[in-house]
Amino acid sequence: MQNYNGWLVLHDRDTVNITIHISSILEVSKHYVEERGRSYFCYGDECVFCREGIPRRSRYIAEIIFHGEDLKWEFSQEVYRAIRRLTSKKSGSVKATVMRFGRGKKTRYRIYVAGRSQFSNSFNKYQSGRYGHMVQS
């Protein structure tokens, strides 16, 4: 099940065809709290997670269409960069195929944007070293 209360949620080995509304892409700041196994929005100056020194990272939220339904999709900076590399569009929408492989810290994504001849390289957000628990590949 990929529609989870209006959010697109991908699992290991999922491949989905979606339409991404480019101008809807919104950058948000979040903290991943390891002990609780979930992320929280950063609240800026008053943020307890910032004060505790928990790394803050950029996440992105976009409005998409999946199987004819309007959903939201949250993704990492690496996915955002791949989308940006694959399209120069600043508005409108693009059709994309997104593949997810693996779970947890071994999760990798590949993205194909219609009109481009190639898939993005597969990438893993933990390889970028901004998480404080970088995984060796």
Binding site for Zn ion (CB under 5 A): 42, 47, 49-50
When the beta carbons of 60 and 119 are compared against Zn ion, the nearer one is 60
The least CB distance from residue 49 to Zn ion, in Å, is: 5
The least CB distance from residue 40 to Zn ion, in Å, is: 8
Gap between the Cα atoms of 117 and 77, Å rounded: 23
Gap between the Cα atoms of 39 and 57, Å rounded: 10
The least CB distance from residue 42 to Zn ion, in Å, is: 3
Give the ranges where 16-136 is alpha helix by DSSP (H): 48-51, 77-86
When the beta carbons of 12 and 34 are compared against Zn ion, the nearer one is 34
DSSP3 helix / strand / coil % (the chain, rounded to 5):
20, 40, 35
When the beta carbons of 16 and 47 are compared against Zn ion, the nearer one is 47
When the beta carbons of 49 and 112 are compared against Zn ion, the nearer one is 49
Gap between the Cα atoms of 4 and 131, Å rounded: 26
The least CB distance from residue 112 to Zn ion, in Å, is: 34
Contacts of 34 (CB under 8 A, 6+ apart): 133
